[in-house]
Each structure stands twice: as structure tokens, then as C-alpha cells.
Amino acid sequence: MLIRALDRFFRHEAAGGIVLMLAAVLAMLAANSGFSGSYNAFLSAKFSVTINGEGLEKPLILWINDGLMAIFFFLIGLELKAEMLEGKLKNPRDVILPGVAAIGGMAIPGIIYAALNWGSPDTLRGWAIPAATDIAFALGILALVGKRAPAALKVFLLTLAILDDLGAIVIIALFYTAQLKVSYLIAALIPLAAMAALNASKTHRPAPILLLGVVLWVLVLKSGVHATLAGVITAFFIPMKDKWGKSPLHALEDGLAPYVLYIIVPIFAFANAGVSLGGITLADLAQPLPLGIALGLILGKQIGVMGATIALVKLGFAKLPQGVNWAQIYGVSALAGIGFTMSLFIGGLSFADPDQMNAVRLGVLSGSILSAIIGFSVLRFGPKSE
């Protein structure tokens, strides 16, 4: 009975978002209880992998953010490649509307954050935090709306979120790279060349490419470029079709997705969403750092996504998806303000100071929660499609 109930739960489209939410709640409880010391000590514990004194030594939270999240980005890379070759991103005409909406939904939140933090160079570097959208959370909320959300609306949100992730990857590569060590980047060309050769041979076994991807991850990490990008690069070398016409990419994507959705992303949320609420007042939320993030997610995403969509449709460059009305587009633009996973991730790249990171968590959680409430309310109780 229990097993059947769990099976039904995990098959529901909203399951990933619910598990993610529970992980965030547990993190909040841990950070604001008698276990806060243990929680912080656990995440700060050093973990080393060395041979003859050479190797990697990092706090556990960085193994999660740099290591486990590389697997998350690997899955994103698999999804991007599949969509580009045979899915929603294959036909340029189908990408125009959600693509421009995604650009608007990244630009306006960044502008709002920058405007509020312009006088503070110390916090200005967090401008990209509200530019991200959490696919699992946003689609989970949309799934809770049920049949009131037409299939075309889900495709619009999914395409927008995928392109948003692609934009986040570009931002991380361009703006969140530490001091480069060129020797490691040159060394990284060796596993890249080997992966390219395996991809060209249409190998049906992805294991050798994955092992080379681990080598690439270490070299990229050592080079100063953010290591999660190695996950995306590795994914693009997984063959779409092998010698027998089967798809190693789809097999790997289907097999990996549940582990990422129900284990890796919740672990990341538990490690990064622990906001310490002790002594926090409304005045703290009104500080430029958390306020810029919250307003960027709530107002910036709505203005950017909705404004770009209106402009394209009114100018005649695109049409609304079949069976979708303007109220539903507004609801989706609000759901795009659920930044959570990607926003917390970029926040961790932007700030090392614990107090600043606590402010980041406060802004991300408040902005994401309000965006989720607004989006769900509009889609659940607003006008239905005709």
C-alpha cells in the first residue's frame, strides 16, 4: 500500500518541486534550531581526495556545489542537446517567443538588482542572482494547477526555462570564472579530444565518456573556470544515436533524471537554503542585497517575460501559443520568478561572506515563494482558455 502510494507520488509532475520544498524547509529548521551548530559544522567539514599529498581538499558544501551540481548541469546539458537536435529548440520559429521572453526575464531582474545595488560594488557582483528560473519548482507549481493549464502553456514555460538555464550557463562561464590557470585548460584539451573521438565513433557505451568527463571536471576545477561547466560540456559529447540506432543520450537522461531530481537537487537545497532568521527584521529584507534579489524575481521576471511577450505579439513577430490567453502568460511570467536552485547557486558563486549569503538566501526564498503564490493564484483562479 505504502509502496503504491509512493510510486503514485513520484510519478506526479509536481513531485520534484514538493521534494525540493521539503528539503528547503528542513534546511530552515536545521539553521534555526538547536541543531544549527551541527548543521553548519557538517557543511564546513573538510573532505579530501589526495594521492601523495596532491589532489582536492574542500569543505563538504563545496563538494556539493562544485561536484554534485556538475551532475545536475550534466543533465541540463543532455536535455539541451536533445531539445536542440530533435525537440522544442530544433525549429527556430518555435523558439522566438519563449526565447525573447527568456532574454527579457533575465535582463530586467538583473537591471532591477543593479539599480538597487549600484552604490555598493561589494554587492553589485550578485546582479545575476535573480536572473535564473528553477525548472523543477516552476513546472511543479504548474502541475498543481491541473487541467486549467493547457499543454501549450507547459511547453512555453519549459522552453523558456530551458533557455533560461542556457543563459545561466553562459553567465557563469563569462562572469564567474576565477583567475585562469592556462596550463590546466590546455591539459583539458586531451579529454576533450578523446570524448570527441568517442562521440564521432557513435559508441553505444557512455561509460568511457563519463570517466573522461570526471578528468575534465578536475582539470576545469583546477583551471579556475567553474567546474560545473564540465558537466555541460561532457553532456554534449554523449552520442544521440549509436551504431545500432539506439540513443545513449536518452537512456542516460532517463536513468539519471530521478537521481538528480529526488536526491542531488534536494541535497543542494538542504545545504544552501538554511537561512538563519535570528534577529532578522523587515528592515533587513529592505537592504539592497536581499531586496534587489526579491524584487528582481517578483517584478523583474514578470515585467521581462510579460513585456517581451506583449511586444513580440503586438508587433506581429509571434503569436500566443494555441489555446493560451494573456492571463495565463502573466501567470507563467510570475512562475519564472521562482529562482531557488539556480539563484542560490549563482549566489554562492557571488558571495563567500556568511552574512551576505544569509541575505542572498533571504532574498531568494522570499522572492521565489511570493512568485510561486502569485503564479499559482493567477493560473488556478484566473480566466481559463476558451
pTM of the model: 0.80
Compute CA 373 distance to the chain's CA centroid, rounded to the nearest angstrom: 20
d(CA 136, CA 260): 11
DSSP helix, strand, coil percent of the chain (3-state; round to 5): 75, 5, 25
Q: Which CATH superfamily is domain 2-181+222-381 in?
A: Na+/H+ antiporter like domain (1.20.1530.10)
Look up residue 61 and give its amino acid.
Answer: I
- Digits of tens for pLDDT over the chain (386 positions)? 556 655 565 666 667 778 878 888 898 888 888 888 888 888 888 887 777 666 677 788 888 888 888 888 898 888 888 888 887 777 777 788 988 999 999 999 999 999 999 988 889 999 999 988 887 778 778 877 877 788 888 888 888 888 887 888 788 878 877 677 888 888 999 999 999 999 888 888 889 999 999 999 988 888 877 777 888 889 999 999 888 888 989 999 999 988 888 888 888 888 887 777 776 777 778 899 999 999 999 999 999 999 999 999 999 888 888 888 899 999 999 999 998 888 888 888 888 888 888 889 899 989 998 999 999 999 988 777 65
Q: Categorise residue 288: left if φ over 0, alpha if ψ from -120 to 50, beta otherwise.
A: alpha
- Which residues share a beta bridge with 55? 50
Distances (CA, A) of 63 to 71, 175, 261, 267: 12, 21, 18, 11
Position 245 scores a pLDDT of: 84
Question: Cell triple for residue 158?
Answer: 519549459
d(CA 151, CA 146): 10
Contacts of 79 by beta carbon, 8 Å cutoff, 6+ apart: 162, 253
**226 by DSSP, 3-state: which?**
coil
Distances (CA, A) of 89 to 147, 235, 328: 25, 17, 22
Position 358 scores a pLDDT of: 86
d(CA 285, CA 122): 17
- Which residues share a beta bridge with 211? none
Q: Are 135 and 161 in contact (CB under 8 A)?
A: yes
Question: Cell triple for residue 100?
Answer: 525573447
Which residue has 563567500 as its cell numbers? Answer: 352
Q: Are 290 and 359 in contact (CB under 8 A)?
A: yes
Q: Categorise residue 146: left if φ over 0, alpha if ψ from -120 to 50, beta otherwise.
A: left
Task: Indicate the helix (H) or strand (E) that contains 57.
Answer: strand 54-59
